[in-house]
Structure 1
């Protein structure tokens, strides 16, 4: 199977969230996540930090307007577009203020819009705590369909799966470059959409700095510190005003060439240090 997206060196560039109160959500990301509102593009609010970007517009809570992956170069972008055409995914031209000309969008089986493009040069905010946006995790009632779409049709690579005792896939971790996962999916029996999105801290000391920042704002951790087994990363979680889970993690595994690992669906897989938040 050709790893078209991995070969393109794609990385999660930004996400676009819907919110019933876009201004309030933008204020949260501006202050709590150190991502100042830099401008408005029509009804879209652009929050921009140091290598972390979130767009926000009016809509239902916990709803993904789109996620966007940037490619290393135009050759890689063209190859993903060609692959999408070959797979009958109907790629269409897409405009977003953070990507340059040539961006396109496809829809996954749950209706999520997935955009590929080339990063546009913007005057990003410098300084602050390290924390590039790193991965998006989806909620889905059909993980098999999600894996077939991203890995089977777009050329992501599967790094790990978590299975129940009867063999059902509960979680799938996929990568678009050498980071263990830039996209993942948890089985949710009752909904589809976003499970969480994550920012890379780099090391445990920086996670401490994020915790201190959250404490200054009286924002409690809802999970962690802990360590995931798949990916081996240290993590903490908070929740935004709309109920979106936000992860800050560090020391994520780098994958070059190894078989897909299979893990049991138990708390220790989700958190080797303590309690696990079981989705299904």
Structure 2
């Protein structure tokens, strides 16, 4: 999660602590008034937990009702925290890849969905190289392609760690998106086939041309059912409220209900590969 997000959440926690102190209450007293565990008051004040709208309404009702609107404004500002890609990539792609390595190492279970590209977790070096070069050109960022490719491949080491679980859905269109030479794409599709059946990986392909319970929308990743990362062209968005995590979880479940696994997924990948060199 971004340092900006942590800083904003810590600042909100400090404001909550100030309001409690101004009301002449200690943490235990406030928890009793609100019917909360003392630990929740501590987590909110130290910025270790993101307050919900209901939490802030309750806090203000006991400490200072006139501050309710200000607290909600702070919360909304916190939830809009973004990682701007151009700012992140000012030093090149390699530092971003290194950050992902740490984040993936610290994650036990991940649910992800990609609509337009093969996920970085599953990319071959050649496929990743073409993506990174094109992205560096788009963002006008420093060209550190080989270091970034190395970082992206290091991220994939988590696929071989016992106890990890990666449940990933890919929209079938991504299998046909030629953002690299056909030979490179063929190798990438072969790599996907090799992932089917791995103990740590559940790979589903959401087919084109079948009834869907929901539109494919954009890519997102759910980390340990605690936070969601959404990537857009210009930003990386972070959400960690229970409501947001639940929303993206429901979207993933609906896409999963239409996904093909095992031999069916294999056939879809093989069909895409077969079309690469068809006259």
Whether these two folds match at TM > 0.5 is no
Kindly indicate which of the two structures has a greater share of residues assigned to strand.
1
Question: For the superposition of Structure 1 and Structure 2, which TM-score range results when normalised by the shorter chain?
Answer: under 0.3
TM-score, structure 1 normalization: 0.27
Kindly indicate which of the two structures has a greater share of residues assigned to helix.
2
Larger Rg, first or second structure (1 or 2): 2
